[in-house]
Structure 1
């Protein structure tokens, strides 16, 4: 009997505007996936816009990578230093929590380089709390999530800010 590798989260790069098609195909293939979306108003209609354009996250063991690569509209895994980039569980959890807690969320990329910068995927961390913004860094993805918060939802408690029940 062989030992199956545990599943991990990978970022998959899709053709532009094909995230929904890819998620539908992953559902049919029984591949666990996550495509973070947020509501956006366009021409008096609310649409679900991907937070990470052209990215879908998959939760699979490495041995099943062929299933993902053979899926229509998938270009490839996102690579870092010659290997498919592994996204830690806690960063996927943070993305889910951030989208649950905040309404106006955007993604900002920050540069990653193989030389000079030390990339430590030990966790997302809060990098900024200003008068109406909360920003967290997702080191494995090379980006930050930024939420704009109505001032009525911010409370200062003994030198720390509380936003939506979270203390920072």
Structure 2
């Protein structure tokens, strides 16, 4: 079976994944734990790794069955066809997230365009290209996963 990418309503990723599991469709919604700051407190919250995306694995003949779930908008398309994600890519995401959900960053004269290797955290041993350096965070491109990572300073 093939993994496809579903596009969901904003902030509906976990609800859609839960409903898909209830109707027997295998899905994966990778999540990370973040510390959010409010005016009076800090709190750990579990948020999706990819906003508005849920991965589903099902035979091509059953692709339309996902549209019975509230919150599903459409499939993500690539070159006019539904985007397909390889099993290896899903396993890389799963193993990376199992490692840890906190990334340690050591600040050393990193400049835009530098290639670095993440040494710890959920994306350890992944190569990244520095896209942006600011006073509060780095923006890194993880080419192997095809995503952008924002790393905040502590």
Return the TM-score normalized by structure 1: 0.62
Correspondence for 1:34: 28
Shift of 1:73: 0.5
Q: Secondary structure at the match of 2:11?
A: coil
Cα deviation per residue 1:121-157 (whole Å; 9 max; x = unaligned)? xxxxxx7316777434246xx3256889xxxxxxxxx
In structure 1, the gaps of 5 or more residues are: 1-6, 106-126, 149-168
Q: 5 Å matches for 1:42-81?
A: 42=36, 43-81=41-79
Structure 1 residue 11 displacement after superposition: 0.8
3-state SS, counterpart of residue 30 of structure 1:
coil
Return structure 1 stretches of 4+ with deviation > 2 angstroms.
42-45, 102-105, 130-139, 144-148
**What is the deviation of 1:58?**
0.4
Count of matched residue positions in the alignment of Structure 1 and Structure 2: 119
3-state DSSP class of the match of 2:55?
A: strand
2:4 to 6, 10, 15: 10
Give the C-alpha shift of residue 102 in structure 1: 3.2
SS in 1 for 2:44: strand
Distance in 1 (CA, whole Å) between partners of 2:4 and 2:61 is: 13
The alpha carbon displacement at 1:79 in A equals 0.2
- RMSD between superposed Cα atoms in Å: 2.5
Cα distance in 2 between the residues matched to 1:146 and 1:89: 25
Q: Determine helix, strand or coil for the equivalent of 1:104.
A: coil
| Cα distance between partner residues in 1 of 2:88 and 2:150 | 17
Structure 2 match to 1:128: 116
Query: Structure 2: which 5+ runs fail to align?
Result: 104-114, 128-141
- Using the size of structure 2 for normalisation, the TM-score is 0.67
